[in-house]
Structure 1
Amino acid sequence: MAQVHPLPPVGVGTDQPHGGSVASTTDQGLSLPVLTAMVVGSMVGAGIFSLPRTFAIATGPVGAIIAWCIAAGGMYTLARVFQSLAERKPHLDAGVYAYARAGFGDYPGFLSAFGYWIGSCIGNVSYWVLIKSTLGAFFPVFGDGNTVVAIVVASIGIWLFHFMILRGIKQAAFINSVVTVAKIVPILVFIAILIGAFRGDLFRANLWGGEGMPATGLFEQVRATMLVTVFVFLGIEGASVYSRYARTRSDVGQATIFGFVGVTALLVLVTLLPYAVLARSDIAELRQPSMATALEAVVGHWGAIFVSLGLIVSVLGAYLAWSLICAEVLFTAAKTDDMPRLFATENENNVPAAALWLTNIVVQLFVISTYWSRDAFSLMLSLTSAMSLIPFLLVAAYGVLLARRGETYEIRPQERRRDLLLAGIATIYTLFLIYAGGMKFVLLAAILYGPGTILYFWARREQGKTLFTAIEWAIFAAAVVGCVIGIHGLATGYITI
Structure 2
Amino acid sequence: MTATHAPARTWPMPVLASMVIGSMVGAGVFSLPSSFAGSAGVAGAAIAWAVAGGGMLMLALVFQRLAVRRPDLDSGIVAYARAGFGSYVGFFSAFGYWASACIANVTYWVLLSSTLGAVVPGLGEGDTGWAFLFGTVGLWLFHLVIARGVSQAALLNAITTVAKIVPLVLFLAIVAVGGFSWDVFLENLRGDTTVLGPVAEQVRATMLVTVFVFLGVEGASVYSRYARRREDVGRATVVGFLSVLALFVAVTMLGYGVMPREELAGLRQPSVAGVLEAVVGPWGSWFIGIGLGISVLGAYLAWCLLAAEVLFEAATQEDAPRFLTRMNRHGVPIAALTATSVATQAFLIVTHFSASAFDFSLELTSALALLPYLLTAGFGLKEALGPRRWSGAVAIASIAVVYTAYLVYAAGMKYLLLALLVYAPASLLYVWARRERGLRVFTPWEAALCVGSVTGAVVAVVALATGTITL
TM-score normalised by structure 2 residue count: 0.93
Q: Which residue pairs with 1:381 in the alignment?
A: 362
Q: Deviations over 1:76-131 (max 9, x none)?
A: 11111111111111111144121111111111011011011111111111111111
Residue identity opposite 2:73 in structure 1: L
Q: Which residue pairs with 2:183 in the alignment?
A: 201
Q: Which residue pairs with 2:444 in the alignment?
A: 470
Report whether the alignment pairs 1:155 with 2:149.
no
The answer to whether the 8 A contact 1:35-1:246 is kept is: no
The answer to whether the 8 A contact 1:61-1:208 is kept is: yes
Q: Which residue pairs with 1:455 in the alignment?
A: 429
The answer to whether the 8 A contact 2:319-2:430 is kept is: yes
RMSD (Å), alpha carbons: 2.5
The answer to whether the 8 A contact 2:23-2:303 is kept is: no
1:219 to 182, 187, 200: 200
Aligned residue for 1:84, secondary structure, equals helix
The answer to whether the 8 A contact 1:171-1:321 is kept is: no
Q: Deviations over 1:138-197 (max 9, x none)?
A: 111111111111001111112222234335575357633541233111111111121121
1:233-382 pair list within 5 angstroms: 233-239=214-220, 249=231, 256-382=237-363
Q: Which residue pairs with 1:77 in the alignment?
A: 58
Q: Which residue pairs with 2:47 in the alignment?
A: 66
Residue identity opposite 1:281 in structure 2: E
Q: Find the aligned partners of 1:164 and 1:464 in 2 and give their Cα distance.
A: 36
Q: Which residue pairs with 1:5 in the alignment?
A: none
Q: Find the aligned partners of 2:52 and 2:136 in 1 and give their Cα distance.
A: 34
Q: Find the aligned partners of 2:50 and 2:88 in 1 and give their Cα distance.
A: 34
The answer to whether the 8 A contact 2:39-2:196 is kept is: no
Q: Cα–Cα, structure 1 residues 334 and 242, in superposed 2: closer, same or farther, change >3 Å?
A: closer
Deviation at 1:63, TM superposition (A): 0.3
Q: Cα–Cα, structure 1 residues 79 and 18, in superposed 2: closer, same or farther, change >3 Å?
A: farther
Aligned residue for 2:262, secondary structure, equals helix
Point out the more displaced range, 106-115 or 309-318. 309-318
The answer to whether the 8 A contact 1:42-1:239 is kept is: no
Q: Find the aligned partners of 1:393 and 1:172 in 2 and give their Cα distance.
A: 30
Q: Find the aligned partners of 1:173 and 1:329 in 2 and give their Cα distance.
A: 16
Q: Cα–Cα, structure 1 residues 69 and 400, in superposed 2: closer, same or farther, change >3 Å?
A: same
Aligned residue for 1:350, secondary structure, equals coil
The answer to whether the 8 A contact 1:447-1:484 is kept is: yes
Deviation at 1:377, TM superposition (A): 1.2
Deviation at 1:20, TM superposition (A): 3.5
Q: Cα–Cα, structure 1 residues 373 and 56, in superposed 2: closer, same or farther, change >3 Å?
A: same
Residue identity opposite 1:436 in structure 2: A
Report whether the alignment pairs 1:402 with 2:383.
yes
The answer to whether the 8 A contact 2:209-2:362 is kept is: yes
Report whether the alignment pairs 1:424 with 2:398.
yes
Q: Cα–Cα, structure 1 residues 100 and 252, in superposed 2: closer, same or farther, change >3 Å?
A: closer
Aligned residue for 2:38, secondary structure, equals helix
Deviation at 1:391, TM superposition (A): 0.8
Q: Deviations over 1:26-79 (max 9, x none)?
A: xxxx5xx88766654454332111101110111011000000000111001111
Structure 1: runs of 5 or more not aligned: 1-9, 24-29
Aligned residue for 1:464, secondary structure, equals coil
Deviation at 1:402, TM superposition (A): 2.0
Residue identity opposite 1:302 in structure 2: W
Deviation at 1:403, TM superposition (A): 2.3
Q: Find the aligned partners of 1:85 and 1:482 in 2 and give their Cα distance.
A: 32
Point out the more displaced range, 374-383 or 105-114. 374-383
Residue identity opposite 1:146 in structure 2: D
The answer to whether the 8 A contact 1:94-1:336 is kept is: no
Q: Cα–Cα, structure 1 residues 93 and 168, in superposed 2: closer, same or farther, change >3 Å?
A: closer
1:72-151 pair list within 5 angstroms: 72-151=53-132
Point out the more displaced range, 276-285 or 326-335. 326-335
Q: Cα–Cα, structure 1 residues 325 and 36, in superposed 2: closer, same or farther, change >3 Å?
A: closer
Aligned residue for 1:465, secondary structure, equals coil
Deviation at 1:454, TM superposition (A): 1.0
Q: Which residue pairs with 1:22 in the alignment?
A: 11
The answer to whether the 8 A contact 1:338-1:456 is kept is: yes
Q: Cα–Cα, structure 1 residues 219 and 169, in superposed 2: closer, same or farther, change >3 Å?
A: closer
The answer to whether the 8 A contact 2:18-2:158 is kept is: no
Q: Find the aligned partners of 1:481 and 1:397 in 2 and give their Cα distance.
A: 24
Q: Find the aligned partners of 1:378 and 1:336 in 2 and give their Cα distance.
A: 34
Q: Cα–Cα, structure 1 residues 361 and 66, in superposed 2: closer, same or farther, change >3 Å?
A: same
How many residues are aligned here?
Answer: 468
Residue identity opposite 1:418 in structure 2: G
Q: Which residue pairs with 1:434 in the alignment?
A: 408
Deviation at 1:451, TM superposition (A): 2.1
The answer to whether the 8 A contact 2:321-2:432 is kept is: yes
The answer to whether the 8 A contact 1:124-1:319 is kept is: yes
Q: Find the aligned partners of 2:225 and 2:446 in 1 and give their Cα distance.
A: 34
Q: Find the aligned partners of 2:352 and 2:170 in 1 and give their Cα distance.
A: 34
Q: Cα–Cα, structure 1 residues 259 and 333, in superposed 2: closer, same or farther, change >3 Å?
A: closer
Q: Which residue pairs with 2:25 in the alignment?
A: 44
